[in-house]
């Protein structure tokens, strides 16, 4: 008897590769989200530091520059929050893609299990037929003892 080989092995391998690529993409985007969040936190920290420094300066010129810088940082915070939101949406989409790739791979694995089960049943049937034939042939022969 020949060894079992799944008829759609290449498709299963391909879907496994797609799942691996999707996992890598999710990890990559998770790192991106983390980096963007860290960047946002640094900007917010700088804004808080700037607010506390404002109390110690009293010249009008310095207060004007301080206010302009504060406005610039507030704008950066808004842009960075939008960047973080965009990265989180990308991450969500990547997770959906990963889930879909995983589901496709599972479908192929189930198909392989069913095909393997049918193959095993067929092999057992053939073996039983051979055993039945051997016993039928030996039943008609006279015993030596």
Model pLDDT, residue 54:
65
> Would residue 97 count as lying in a domain?
yes
CA separation for the pair 5, 12 (Å, rounded)? 12
> Would residue 31 count as lying in a domain?
yes
> Would residue 15 count as lying in a domain?
yes
Q: What is the pLDDT of residues 49-96, one digit of tens each?
A: 887 776 666 677 777 888 888 899 999 999 999 999 999 999 999 999
Model pLDDT, residue 6:
82
> Would residue 101 count as lying in a domain?
yes
| Domain membership of residue 24 as a residue range | 9-108
**What CATH number does the domain containing 28 carry?**
1.10.287.1700
> Would residue 90 count as lying in a domain?
yes
> Would residue 16 count as lying in a domain?
yes
Q: Would the pLDDT of 1 be above 60?
A: no
Residue 35 token pair: 């980096």
What is the domain count for the chain? 1
Q: What is the DSSP string of 48-68?
A: HHHHHHHTT---HHHHHHHHH
Model pLDDT, residue 140:
67
Q: What pTM, to 2 d.p., does this model score? A: 0.71
Q: Kindly state the average pLDDT of the residues 106-119.
A: 93
């Amino acid at each position: 008897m020949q060894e079992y080989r799944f008829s759609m092995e290449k498709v299963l391998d391909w879907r496994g590769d797609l799942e691996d690529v999707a996992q890598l993409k999710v990890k990559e985007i998770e790192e991106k989200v983390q980096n963007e969040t860290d960047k946002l936190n640094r900007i917010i920290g700088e804004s808080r530091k700037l607010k506390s420094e404002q109390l110690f300066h009293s010249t009008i010129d310095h207060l004007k520059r301080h206010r302009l810088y504060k406005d610039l940082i507030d704008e950066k915070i808004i842009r960075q929050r939008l960047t973080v939101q965009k990265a989180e949406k990308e991450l969500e989409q990547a997770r959906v893609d990963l889930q879909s790739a995983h589901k496709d791979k599972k479908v192929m694995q189930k198909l392989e299990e069913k095909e393997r089960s049918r193959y095993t049943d067929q092999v057992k049937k053939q073996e039983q037929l051979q055993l039945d034939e051997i016993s039928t042939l030996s039943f008609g022969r006279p015993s030596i003892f």
